[in-house]
Amino acid sequence: MSARLLSGKEAAAKVFDEVKSAMRAFTQPPSLAVVQVGSDPASGVYVNMKEKRCLECGIRSAVFRLPENTTETELSELISKLNSDQTIDAFLIQLPLPEHINEARMLELIRPDKDADCFHPYNFGRLAAGNPLVLPCTPAGVLVLLDHYGIEIEGKRALVIGRSNIAGKPLGLMLLARHASVTWAHSRTRNLPDLCREAELIFAAVGKPNFLTADMVSPGAVVVDVGINRVPSGDGYVLRGDVDFEAVSERASWITPVPGGVGAMTIAMLLSNCVALARARL
Ligand code: NAP
């Protein structure tokens, strides 16, 4: 069997079009701010890409690039400024933050109705309660991608490998809300290959290249690769997911590529969240 591709590029293009059409409802275009602390190269690439996409879609974008030695007090002052700035509809703090800054404490300072990434505990709680105000971008992108290709979720045995607050945990909650029977796996899980083979939908959010191998996948399963790993290649690096793409493609019915899969959806969902939060403020 050769799996069909779940193209994030294709599904994201549709979301970007929807964002552009939504602009008609606004007299002032919505605005999104991004705060980056330090100079993590991967974060820098994401932040530039977010800025570019905002521009293309007509969203006003503001980027605050703060030095690595920014203190918690300085960052919390900026957050409180963004919270009260009437011209900012939504914002996010690019993660990871430098180690001397307490991430959880900073995320808790964001006004929940401006929380573009759904990282505030209030928003996470609402998601868990089944009444979300805003959806976390990467998991929301996964579901939009599955829906775009008509992949059924209800009643399916779904295995999510990974339980981080950014990816695995909210993804499992959202699959549960869509009536999948969800299992989470993590580093203490026993017999992971057996669990994988029982799953009809597998979501890998581990952060280890080639983690999910073909022998762990039942024929016909749908495989979604959330992982984005920089693997050294020549003088630079290439991006690889958590899935052994070539071999798993021979067993799965559908599979996401990396790049061009889930990663392509995340920024589209961020812009979509910005529009939704701005619309709620109209
Ligand atoms: P993370 O915080 O490091 O979490 C990794 C998860 O994998 C943890 O829950 C960990 O279990 C689990 N894990 C590690 N080793 C395992 C093993 N041997 N067996 C089973 N589970 C294992 O990473 P993350 O932030 O969730 O990111 C995961 C990947 O997704 C990364 O490659 C990241 O770059 C990518 N990502 C992509 C997007 C996107 O836009 N597409 C967004 C976010 C993240 P424990 O909890 O027990 O430690």
> pLDDT tens digit string along 123-170?
999 999 999 999 999 999 999 999 999 999 999 999 999 999 999 999
Q: Is the CB of 204 under 6 A from ligand 1?
A: no
DSSP state of 114: G
| CATH architecture for segment(s) 26-113 | 3-Layer(aba) Sandwich (3.40)
- Tell me, in angstroms, the distance from the centre of ligand 1 to residue 59's CA: 30
- CA angle 96–130–95, rounded 5-degree value: 5
Q: Is the CB of 140 under 6 A from ligand 1?
A: no
Mean pLDDT of the chain: 97
- Tell me, in angstroms, the distance from the centre of ligand 1 to residue 162's CA: 5
Position 43, amino acid: S
Alpha-carbon span 216 to 209, nearest angstrom: 15
Q: Is the CB of 166 under 6 A from ligand 1?
A: yes
DSSP state of 212: B
Fold observed for domain 136-263: Rossmann fold (3.40.50)
Q: Do domains 26-113 and 136-263 have the same CATH topology?
A: yes
Read off the pTM: 0.97
> pLDDT tens digit string along 241-275?
999 999 999 999 999 999 999 999 999 999 999 99
End-to-end C-alpha distance for the chain, whole angstroms: 50
Give the residue numbers annotated as catalytic, written as ranges: 50, 94, 117
264 has which bridge partners?
none
Chain centroid to Cα 53, Å, comes to 16
Q: Is the CB of 159 under 6 A from ligand 1?
A: no
> pLDDT tens digit string along 195-253?
999 999 999 999 999 999 999 999 999 999 999 999 999 999 999 999 999 999 999 99
Task: Calculate Rg over the CA atoms of the chain.
Answer: 19
Percent of the chain predicted with pLDDT > 70? 100
Task: Spell out the domain ranges in the chain.
Answer: 26-113, 136-263
Judge whether residue 1 has pLDDT over 90. no
